[in-house]
């Protein structure tokens, strides 16, 4: 069994292709460290490229609950989550019950003495957060995502 897969959160199965996402730049994963540092703020770089985590309840999207629109990867613009899948989990980070198809990959994360499932952007391989199996129906998933890793788009 592979430690990495693409998933939309509905069944945990391998979902995909390397198709370009609307608004994404397919060469982003090939950027050098210096290019990422130039493109991202210090905090964005720490979270997205060094797998950091923002402080609980500090992110701009924790209490942000629009009726429509989507959330994009702050590093490359790939659409990650539909606003309709966002819910209040009380965990201190934005939570979604499903990711857009083929938008994220998951890997086993054993850092900090824990075993978790890390969520990364499928286009640019940036760290987004983690996914847990304690979410609401219809998927039972809780994608716990750092606000600084996303940008909200009303479109």
| CATH classification number, 30-153, choose in 2.40.160.20, 2.60.120.260, 2.170.150.20, 3.90.226.10 | 2.170.150.20
Residue extents of the structural domains in the chain: 30-153
**Cα(122)–Cα(84) distance, rounded to whole angstroms?**
21
- State the average pLDDT over residues 109-131: 96
pLDDT tens sequence across 32-47:
999 999 999 999 999 9
Q: Which residues are catalytic?
A: 144
For the beta carbon of residue 115, count every other beta carbon within 10 angstroms.
Answer: 8
- CA–CA distance, 153 with 155 (Å, rounded to integer): 5
pLDDT, position 135: 98
């Amino acid at each position: 069994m592979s430690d990495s897969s693409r998933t939309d959160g509905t069944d945990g199965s391998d979902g995909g292709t390397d198709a370009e996402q609307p608004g994404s730049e397919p060469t982003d994963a090939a950027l050098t460290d210096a290019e990422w540092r130039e493109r991202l703020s210090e905090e964005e770089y720490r979270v997205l490229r060094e797998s950091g985590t923002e402080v609980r309840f500090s992110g701009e999207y924790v209490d942000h609950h629009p009726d429509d629109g989507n959330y994009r990867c702050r590093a490359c613009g790939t659409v990650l989550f539909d606003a309709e899948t966002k819910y209040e989990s009380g965990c201190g980070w934005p939570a979604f019950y499903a990711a857009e198809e083929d938008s994220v990959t998951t890997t086993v994360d054993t850092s900090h003495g824990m075993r978790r499932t890390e969520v990364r952007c499928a286009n640019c391989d940036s760290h987004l957060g983690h996914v847990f199996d304690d979410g609401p129906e219809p998927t039972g998933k809780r994608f716990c995502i750092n606000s600084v890793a996303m940008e909200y788009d009303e479109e």
